[in-house]
Structure 1
């Protein structure tokens, strides 16, 4: 069975969030200013990539994030909206490479690449459970 049969290069995904007190640098402990946190931006980028491929996988499979290489280039204040977009650049077996970008209402706030790996959920959870 081909896990990537329905997944094609150029596939896009998106996700958005309003900046609030729970996703600021202060809340994440990643800074002392009340602006959208870098870890929150990365999570939003991952969500965009996840949303594009997971619905196309066979039942019982999902993707997990394995690498993120992004820069956070501009701040977004509380009340702003951040939108992330992903575009699939490469399929290497079960490894998927995405270009990701995040923007607010005025400019690009982050960009880079993100890699995800296709896993069989039950086998993945077994391996994780064996670490207890």
Structure 2
């Protein structure tokens, strides 16, 4: 890897909570609040936005681990905001501090790990399993 990513890179994504991303709809619970999987997806999107635009052509990141706590509910209709900050780089391994907030309070926090991949090699692995891209 002939380039380096500086620590402290940050990004933020926002989304209004709709019925499609509630725990009831996604099957992760039986209540009409932001689902934990949806919150994690927003955190991952923020991490992607923080670093992927800076990568050389032919490289992207993929998520490989999450350690996140969902600490408060967010109802349908309220906006949720997820942030990611690059806090560690170890070769191709990237570690992000991630947080989520609704209009009233912090609703999630934790760590998210991504790995920089070569798109051609990654595609080859997917295709070797009979997948499509």
Query: What TM bracket, shorter-length normalisation?
Result: over 0.9
Unaligned 5+ runs, structure 1: none
TM-score, length-scaled by structure 2: 0.95
In 1, Cα distance between equivalents of 2:19 and 2:105: 21
In 2, Cα distance between equivalents of 1:65 and 1:104: 24
- Residue of structure 2 equivalent to 1:42: 40
- Structure 1 stretches of at least 4 aligned residues deviating more than 2 Å after TM superposition: none
- Residue of structure 2 equivalent to 1:105: 103
In 2, Cα distance between equivalents of 1:129 and 1:26: 34
Q: State the shift of 1:99 in Å.
A: 0.3
Deviations 1:5-61 (A, max 9, x none): 2x2001111111100011000111000000000000000000000000000000111
Counterpart pick for 1:66 among 61, 64, 67 = 64
Counterpart pick for 2:94 among 96, 107, 126 = 96
Instruction: Say what the alpha-carbon RMSD is for the aligned residues.
Output: 0.8
In 2, Cα distance between equivalents of 1:16 and 1:60: 27
In 2, Cα distance between equivalents of 1:111 and 1:28: 20
Q: State the shift of 1:108 in Å.
A: 0.2
TM-score, length-scaled by structure 1: 0.96
In 1, Cα distance between equivalents of 2:124 and 2:94: 23
In 1, Cα distance between equivalents of 2:99 and 2:110: 6
Question: How many aligned residue pairs are there?
Answer: 130
